[in-house]
Amino acid sequence: MSITNLRVFRSAAWLCIVLLAVLSLMPGSVQMRSGMPGGFEHAIAYFGTATMFMLGYHKSGRLVAAGLLAYGGLLETLQLFAPGRVPNIADAGASGAGSILGVIVWTVLLEHWRRDSHSGDDREPIKGH
């Protein structure tokens, strides 16, 4: 992956972190909803954030998952201080599930792509060509 792509994914990862904070802590009166159940919104948002971190940093999935789990818990707790917002254990669980699923998916895909890129030289030529 080129350094330009890494920079794009890294920038996107940190933009996701900022967006998660803004969307989690904005007052309830101006809260934006997609129409999906809240748990799905949380899972999708954290899956996407995990994706950006995995593609941008190629760090340990455990580190990414642990960081996002802690961040999601922190944001839910901080909703105690956001007008019209209430922390919700189910939302924190959905955020954590999205983070973990994102890490698992991208760990598997990145490992698969690494193996494919290294195994290209070992292929036998097609007979008769």
Global confidence as pTM: 0.86
- 127 inside domain: no
Is 100 a member of any domain? yes
Give the domain range for residue 93.
3-26+37-118
Domain assignment present for residue 128? The answer is no
Q: What is the pLDDT of residue 31?
A: 87
The answer to whether residue 83 sits within a structural domain is: yes
Q: Provide the pLDDT for residue 120.
A: 59
Does the pLDDT at position 129 exceed 50?
no
88, with CB counted inside 10 A (0-12, 13-18, 19+), is: middle
Helix (H) or strand (E) holding 117: helix 89-119
pLDDT higher than threshold 60 for residue 123: no
Domain membership of residue 125 (yes or no) is no
Please state the domain count of the chain: 1
In a domain, 68, yes or no: yes
pLDDT at site 33: 83
Q: Is residue 56 part of a domain?
A: yes
pLDDT of 125 over the 90 cut: no
Q: Is the separation of the CB atoms in 56 and 12 below 8 Å?
A: yes
Q: What is the end-to-end Cα distance of the chain in Å, rounded?
A: 32
Model confidence at 116: pLDDT above 50: yes
Is 48 a member of any domain?
Answer: yes
Contact yes or no for 31/66 (Cβ under 8 A)? no
Tens of pLDDT, residues 36-92: 999 999 999 999 999 999 999 987 899 999 999 999 999 999 999 999 999 999 999
